[in-house]
Amino acid sequence: MKQYSMIAKAVCIGLLASSSSVVLADDAKLDMERIEVVGKHHRDVGATGLPLAIGDTPQSISVIDREFMDFHDINSIGDALTHSAGVYSETSLDSRERFVFARGFEMNRFLIDGMGTAARPLQATLLDTSIFETVEVIRGSTGMLQEVGQPSGTVNLVQKRAYNGTGGYVTAEYGSWDKMRTEADFNTTLTDSGSVRARAVVALEDTDSFVDRYNADRKTFYTTLSADITDALQVSVFASYQDDGQSAKSDGLPLQFANGDPIQIGIEANIYPDWGTQDSTQENLTGELRYEVNDDWSVVAKLHHSNLDEQKVYAGLDWHPAPTGDYALFTYETDSDFETDRAELGVNGQFDLFGQTHTVNFTLADTNFEELGHTFRPLSRVTGNLAAEHRSESPEPKPAKPDYNYAQPQVRSAEIGSQSARVALNLQLLDNFNMLLGANRKDIDSYSSNNGTVTDETFSDTSLYYGGVYKINEQTVVYASYTDIFDQPQQYNKEGALLDPLRGENKEIGFRYSNTDNTLSLDLAYFNITQENYGVVAGKHSDGNVYYIGQSGIESEGYEVEVSGYVTDQWFASLSFSDTDVTNPNELAGRVSRVVPDKIASFSTFYEFDNLRVGGYINYAGEREGFIGLGPYEYVPVDSHVLAGFSAYYEFNESLSAKFNIHNLFDKEYDAKIAFISVRPGDPRNFSAQVTYTF
């Protein structure tokens, strides 16, 4: 499965992108795939920009690999993150996009091969998994990697790369609610020597839903080309394009009548009209140059361009329906465009001093982000009646689409330019002790115009990183790290001005253990996060846009546990648990911690027979709260829930295989999200069956 990236500019250090330098062919058998699962603690990923293995990095990192996503039929990044250690992935009211949280806060930074994408967090969760080799989750502040260092963490998506060989696969899938999906991945060498390699992926999907009339379709295209110009010089290009369309877009079910009485309506009901639609396209294009100066030093340059274009006709309840069933729709039409250009130039090297080998990275980066959005309001009020539209005989049609005020759009634009210079140093002070030191200097120019309110400010900040890793023995490691937090989110106050930057500190200590065969590992981490000027939703304007207020004294602390590996030669299992406590001393607590469960856990496993693999997963989300109203909010409890899944894979021969998956195995009924004046029921039990031909 893949996505077709198409736009990007950036010249870089190779930071996390270096983690994708090794890619297994897709026709690797079960024994080969095992290397990817257990080898996560030896991949060159990191939180500092240095090409360090996870075991040498003093910060929590989890990897969702290609094998896991294939086995459990995971087709979007948002769904993949529901299985990541320490991450809570919550569906939006419309069911397709997801909010992602870690350590009590939303994760709003998504990278592709270490480069920032223009997609908003919700849209980034729609990205198709077909084009990615792994999904890397770095928990905690990542201010060393980019111009901002949010406290929750960063998601880095590692794209598939062309390899030396010819092969690929084609899949056909059918599932619940008439889900139809086909996917093809083809790799080839364009020269006899294999010095020029190409790979292409196509994924097409069309599906309905348990919600009446709702339909979603997706078209994903991806291609990459790598050429070894000389033994020391390699040039690569990555391009992707993804289009997501949604029609009869549902915004959940009405939570209650205006008098507080419950509304008795089936979870399949769609009270919204067919003209509520959303279409988005995401394009990413990256050019990469790698030059090996010698065995110790290398230069990596990247140019990256990313674009998100979204057209939406929104239709949601204006308020709780009257006891008679009368309701009014809040509706608008938007056309939004988000663009990011980035250039990175990085130098990685190692040197010997005092009998030890040390690693250093220097990086310069220039990034520009632009946003332009037009919102059109209706010229007339849209009303309807639930009783008339949902009675069993001769129901009335939904309200007709109104005319919109195209002559007087509400315009919001923003442009953020940033330049950064980073240095990161890994000092191997002893054979069993390494210290990491880093600094990332950032200069940011921020301009926004929000319905006539202009904000034009300049910020400067230097994020510092300190960390140490001590190896007690070959199997046991302890570590500690400190990281600055600096973020400039696109959040506006009641007057329409951009909020001042968020600042804070992230501290973490951890313990790692792996057995002598490196087939089983244990990770423990304790973290403490403090933040100042944290943006909290304070209310909603009459036009539907929310506004924020900055709050200080926000603190998050907790711990995470992850155990994974092979219990026997045939039995693999992974278990994670996290407990987070977020406190806010301010009177306006907002949605800082209340919508995120304190406790989350996940378990996955499989057992291998000769040609058969059988397994499943269990995910737990603890108690949390939903919010009602348009601000200030009323909070209501949301029960905990446990979801299970089943997966089976059978290999007929070297070319033909089949897979069967069930999600929500026990058909658990639960509230996935309660927000504003709606509730989103969780997906009932659903299945998919897939046939794959490998060549």
pLDDT tens sequence across 483-526 = 888 877 777 888 878 788 888 899 999 999 999 888 999 999 99
pLDDT value at residue 29: 35
Q: Determine the number of helices (DSSP H) and then strands (DSSP E) in the chain.
A: 5, 38
pLDDT tens sequence across 285-329 = 999 999 999 999 999 999 999 999 999 999 999 989 999 999 999
pLDDT value at residue 148: 59
Q: Using CA atoms, how far apart are residues 201 and 414, in angstroms rounded to an integer?
A: 34
Name the more confident of 3 and 535: 535
Torsion of CA 95, 99, 537, 376, to 10 degrees: -50
Phi and psi at residue 319, in whole multiples of 5°? -165, 175
Contact 380, 405 (CB under 8 A): no
Task: Give the C-alpha distances (Å, rounded to integers) separating 273 from 317, 383, 462.
Answer: 11, 11, 50
Lowest mean pLDDT among 380-389, 432-441, 537-546: 537-546
Q: Strand, helix or coil at 31? A: helix
Q: Using CA atoms, how far apart are residues 409 and 620, in angstroms rounded to an integer?
A: 44
pLDDT value at residue 633: 78
Phi and psi at residue 286, in whole multiples of 5°? -130, 135
Tokens matching residue 506: 């992230």
> Is it the case that residue 354 has pLDDT exceeding 60?
yes
pLDDT value at residue 646: 98
> Is it the case that residue 534 has pLDDT exceeding 60?
yes
Contact 82, 619 (CB under 8 A): yes
Mean pLDDT over residues 397-425, rounded?
92
Mean pLDDT over residues 326-335, rounded?
94
Short-list 622, 623, 621, 636, CA closest to 675: 636
> Is it the case that residue 442 has pLDDT exceeding 50?
yes
In angstroms, how far is CA 343 from the centroid of its own chain?
22
pLDDT value at residue 310: 95
> Is it the case that residue 103 has pLDDT exceeding 50?
yes
Q: What percent of the chain has pLDDT over 70?
A: 90
> Is it the case that residue 9 has pLDDT exceeding 50?
no
pLDDT value at residue 175: 97
pLDDT value at residue 59: 84
Short-list 145, 215, 247, CA closest to 484: 145
pTM: 0.88
pLDDT value at residue 590: 54
Tracing tokens 């059978």 back to the chain, one arrives at: 650
> What radius of gyration do the chain's Cα atoms show?
25
Contact 531, 503 (CB under 8 A): yes
pLDDT value at residue 257: 92
- How sure is the predictor about 24, in pLDDT bands with cuts at 50, 70 and 90? very low
Q: Using CA atoms, how far apart are residues 72 and 70, in angstroms rounded to an integer?
A: 6
Name the more confident of 110 and 629: 110
pLDDT tens sequence across 202-259 = 999 999 999 999 999 999 999 999 999 999 999 999 999 999 999 999 999 998 999 9
Task: List strand residue ranges (DSSP E) for 190-276, in order.
Answer: 196-207, 215-228, 233-247, 253-254
Tokens matching residue 471: 């190896």
pLDDT value at residue 338: 94
Q: Using CA atoms, how far apart are residues 338 and 370, in angstroms rounded to an integer?
A: 6
Torsion of CA 567, 570, 571, 572, to 10 degrees: 90
603: left (phi > 0), else alpha (psi -120 to 50), else beta? beta
Q: Using CA atoms, how far apart are residues 117 and 506, in angstroms rounded to an integer?
A: 24
pLDDT value at residue 50: 72
In angstroms, how far is CA 655 from the centroid of its own chain?
33
Mean pLDDT, all residues of the chain:
86
545-577 burial, b if ≥16 CB within 10 A, otherwise e? Answer: eebbbbbeebbbbbbbbbbbbbeeeeebbbbbb
Phi and psi at residue 629, in whole multiples of 5°? 110, -175
pLDDT value at residue 540: 72
> Is it the case that residue 41 has pLDDT exceeding 60?
no
pLDDT value at residue 222: 98
pLDDT value at residue 631: 65
Tokens matching residue 226: 């790598």
Please say whether the dihedral angle defined by the alpha carbons of residues 315, 318, 321 and 322, taken in this order, is positive or negative. negative
Short-list 275, 404, 265, 397, CA closest to 321: 265
Q: Using CA atoms, how far apart are residues 176 and 161, in angstroms rounded to an integer?
A: 32
pLDDT tens sequence across 261-282 = 988 889 999 999 999 999 999 9
Residues of the chain by 3-state class (helix, strand, coil), percent to 5: 5, 60, 35
- How sure is the predictor about 592, in pLDDT bands with cuts at 50, 70 and 90? low
pLDDT tens sequence across 180-199 = 999 999 999 999 999 999 99
pLDDT tens sequence across 632-661 = 678 899 999 999 999 999 999 999 999 999
Phi and psi at residue 553, in whole multiples of 5°? 80, 15
